[in-house]
Amino acid sequence: MSAPAPAAAGFSASIFDMDGLLIDSEILWHEAELEILGDLGVPLSRDACRGTKGMFVGEVTEYWFAQYPWAGPSPSEVAVTIVDRVIALLLSKGELKPGAEYAIGLCEERGLRLAVASSSQYRLIDTALEHFGLRHHFALVHSAEDEQWGKPHPAVFLTAAAKLGAAPRRCLVWEDAPAGVLAAKAASMACIAVPEHGEEHRPAFALADVVLGSLLDMDEERFDALSADAARTT
């Protein structure tokens, strides 16, 4: 196998979200939240779940507790239960998103350093990456668990870039959530957005540099054009 090409002039690192971008996990989160928060009396719907997409799970439970206070477990305890349930669902029926390995390969072929920067807890990230055989692709895994604020605050991406030794303007972010796109652009990073079906209308996606219907739509010509654009601004 030949060695990867030198890092493209425009990008030195590529940062991937995980939930909904690499892993088809949105439906798993919805199932867990509807089940667990519903049992606590929160009148959730799938559309309401989409409204908190990209937020750290502790922020999600605090958000719903503020609107529909429940008796019993604290929001932080409920967050643990939700993550436990998502992990179980992922191991039993989780799937990769179409093009996940293809997108990773595009970046590796260009010599970019790869990271996962996710709002999920480390235990879920690690379980998912190991389960799908993806962990070896990434030089770094970073969770908003270590940050004071989750997305749309840019902290999770800025910390990942710093740990990779990459300037923010030389980082390419891959995201599926509006909050993630906002975080990437607030970090002064290029962003490829892959909205879930039905969410393309969300205003945040207009800020992305490229919006795709699937990771498989990111061909080499478009990737290199985006890299060339980044080179002109760094």
Tell me whether the omega of the peptide bond preceding residue 43 falls within 30 degrees of 0, making it cis.
no
Instruction: Give the closest residue to 76 by CA, choosing from 56, 96, 97, 61.
Output: 61
Cα distance from N-terminal residue to C-terminal residue, the chain: 31
Residue 221's H or E segment, with its range, is helix 220-232
- CA dist., res. 81 & res. 136, Å (int): 28
- Known active-site residue 17: yes
Euclidean distance between CA atoms 192 and 209, whole angstroms: 6
Q: Distance (Å, rounded) from C-alpha 144 to C-alpha 63?
A: 17
| 151 three-class SS | coil
Which residue in the list 19, 39, 176, 229 is annotated as catalytic? Answer: 19
Q: Which of 17, 47, 176, 209 is catalytic?
A: 17
> Which positions are annotated as active-site residues?
17, 19
